[in-house]
Chains A and B, each alone.
Chain A
Amino acid sequence: MTKLITDVVCPFCGTLCDDLEVVVSDDGKELLEVNNACAIGAEKFLHSQAKDRLTRPRMRNEDGSWREVSYDEAAEFTAQMLAKSKKPLMYGWSSTNCESQVVGSHVAELVGGQLDNTATVCHGSTLIAVQDVGVPSCTLGEIKNRADMVVFWGCNPAHAHPRHMSRYSLFPRGFFTAKGHRGRTAVVVDPRPTDSANLADIYLPVEQGRDYELLSALRVAFRNEQLPDVVAGISKEKIYEVAEKMKNARFGCIFFGMGVTHSLSNNHNIDIAIQVTRDLNEFTKWSIMPMRGHYNVTGAGEVWGWQFGFPFCVDLSRGFARYNPGESSSNDLLMREEIDSVFVLGSDPGAHFPFSSVKKMNALPCVVVDPHITPSTVVADLHVPVAFVGVEVGGCAYRMDSVPIESHKVVDAPEGMLTDEEFLKLVLARVKEIKGV
């Protein structure tokens, strides 16, 4: 007999779809089927069942080969490395639950760590912009029930957030949006005619890196002022047309992604996108929301927000929290060689940091806590595989609109494996002993 588990929360992207159904074997050990998930989410669940999965920590030998060690030895090595370091970088914290993030920040406080999460290479620019100018936002439920116009700016939900459009932003019928897709106008702004652009009513092929100009032009158009014939590759007629549509919407939302956060002028692109939203609220109701990717990256920002007052780039080396992206951000710290050890949990800087930063990580003592073999493990001295959060252990995670959602465990982790939280607790206890607190 198999068991059907309903209302499972997907641990892939920030949409946190909470309507998944998972079929597991009677003994609760094997995951057989995943329903309702997108292809990526389903793969995430099924990959936890991989037969070649690592189940015990492994330490690097002198010659580069690996040897198996116990969790206690792994915790001892990690605690010693962190306690001895003057400025350890503690990076990641996104593919894990808020409970682990809390224990992690306790460790960081004791060792004077540089806490940073994946926002630093993702929506870090957004967080800076939000602190600069504020953010008129709402929940995804409000979008579903009220929005009659949505703008996707520099994001490609068809690939990166596959169920975002069907659950919340474009297709669903809601309380005041009974016509679903037919009642909504969708605009896509992207230099590439993406698969999301194919679904849009209006597609604006902005020139690469010219988002600021186009957003600025929209602000001019809202005021019916004069525009040059072409701005950022878009004709002025088109800009006036879109501006007019936006002003006449009943409720709209701008969703934006890596297209604006990763281009030069990063946070300023978002500053002005927020100003556009603010302008629109003179005429009607508009919101703006970052398309946050990594499962619980929003949660990491929230947890540190309560604890330290800052969502990422938290420097605890002086015994109190300092925050200065550009100085206390992972890549800058690595580039300037200010770091003397690296602890990674719940993300993969090996694959997602510029190569020069990865090279610096390779030269330092490095512990990677991750269920997978990843490019980060290439530069690790110790690799600690743990249970999959969201699949083999539940916990609190935050959706992209900052709504906390309790996720469920669906299968047991392989015999004897620890969770992130349990491993961090071992490290915390040992660090306390070493520091004598």
Chain B
Amino acid sequence: MQGVTMEGGKEKPAYRDACGIIELNPEDLKELGIWHGTNVRVASQHGWVIVKAIKATQGPHPGLGWIPMGPWANRVIDPNTYSMGMPTFKGVPVTVEPAPDEKVLDSLAVLEEML
């Protein structure tokens, strides 16, 4: 879905619905006290973003959160390249907390919000 929506137009809501998410293990959802489809605030030491928490589609992977490639993930990843050109896109420690009243922004707005 991620790839199809990227090619279908990144300004469209379908791209936000496919990539503005975090996949979490059912147990982790339970621990957060939320259901599949609740918006959450994901924060790392590099930034924060509001995404929708969903039950892992390719899981289980306890303790791991997975946000697809896109501007939502890029607001929380580690930009440090450790002298080799590649930002650290994976393995970034994050905290997840429920934010049911916040909105998941589309791909253009998620940038505009912080520029």
Contact = CB atoms under 8 A, between A and B. Distances in A.
B107 A267 contact: no
Contact of B3 (A159, A313, A335): A159
A356 B75 CA distance: 8
A43 B7 contact: yes
A326 B81 contact: yes
A331 B60 CA distance: 33
A385 to B, nearest CB: 13
Of the listed residues B10, B61, B64, B84, the one surrounded by the most CB atoms of chain A closer than 10 A to its CB is B84
B78 to A, nearest CB: 8
A159 B108 CA distance: 24
Interface string B35-49: 000000000001100
A261 B86 contact: yes
B69 interface: yes
Given A124-B86, A262-B90, A350-B71, A159 B111 contact: no
A105 interface: no
Contacts of B10: 348, 351, 372-375
A362 interface: yes
Contacts of B7: 12, 40, 43-44, 47
B63 to A, nearest CB: 9
A350 B70 CA distance: 9
Contact of A351 (B8, B78, B107): B107
A299 B82 CA distance: 27
B59 A43 contact: no
A27 to B, nearest CB: 25
Contacts of A312: 85
B102 interface: no
Given A192-B58, A359-B114, A160 B86 contact: no
Contacts of B2: 159
Contacts of A192: 56, 58-59, 61, 64, 66
A376 to B, nearest CB: 9
Interface in B11-27: 11
Contacts of A337: none
B13 to A, nearest CB: 14
Given A192-B66, A351-B70, A375-B10, A121 B89 contact: yes
A403 interface: no
A191 B62 CA distance: 10
Q: Is the interface of A mostly helix, strand, loop or mixed?
A: helix
Contacts of A193: 58-61
Contact of A258 (B6, B56, B64, B89): B89
A358 B111 contact: yes
A39 B4 contact: yes
A156 to B, nearest CB: 8
A353 interface: yes
B61 to A, nearest CB: 5
Given A313-B85, A375-B107, A259 B90 contact: yes
B108 A264 contact: no
B87 A331 contact: yes
A191 B56 CA distance: 13
Contacts of A325: 84-86
Contacts of B111: 350, 355, 358, 375, 378-379
Given A208-B90, A326-B85, A160 B79 contact: no
Contact of A195 (B58, B108, B114): B58
B90 A354 contact: no
Contacts of A378: 108, 111-112, 115
A332 interface: yes
Contacts of A125: 84, 86
Given A266-B84, A326-B84, A374-B10, A355 B91 contact: no
A180 interface: no
A158 to B, nearest CB: 9
Contacts of B89: 121, 258, 262
Interface string A194-205: 110100000000
B95 interface: no
Interface in A310-364: 312-313, 325-327, 329-332, 335, 348, 350-359, 362
18 contacts: A12-B3, A39-B4, A47-B8, A47-B9, A50-B9, A124-B85, A192-B56, A192-B66, A193-B60, A263-B88, A313-B85, A330-B85, A331-B87, A354-B77, A354-B79, A372-B9, A372-B10, A373-B108
- Identify the 8 closest CB pairs spanning chains A and B, nearest first: A329-B85, A325-B85, A354-B79, A326-B83, A40-B3, A262-B89, A43-B7, A44-B7
Interface of B: 2-4, 6-11, 46-47, 56, 58-61, 64, 66, 69-71, 74-75, 77-79, 81-91, 107-108, 110-112, 114-115
Given A120-B85, A312-B85, A373-B10, 4 more contacts: A128-B85, A351-B69, A352-B69, A353-B74
Interface of A: 12, 39-40, 43-44, 47, 50, 120-121, 124-125, 128, 156, 159-160, 191-195, 197, 208-209, 258-259, 261-264, 266-267, 312-313, 325-327, 329-332, 335, 348, 350-359, 362, 372-375, 378-379
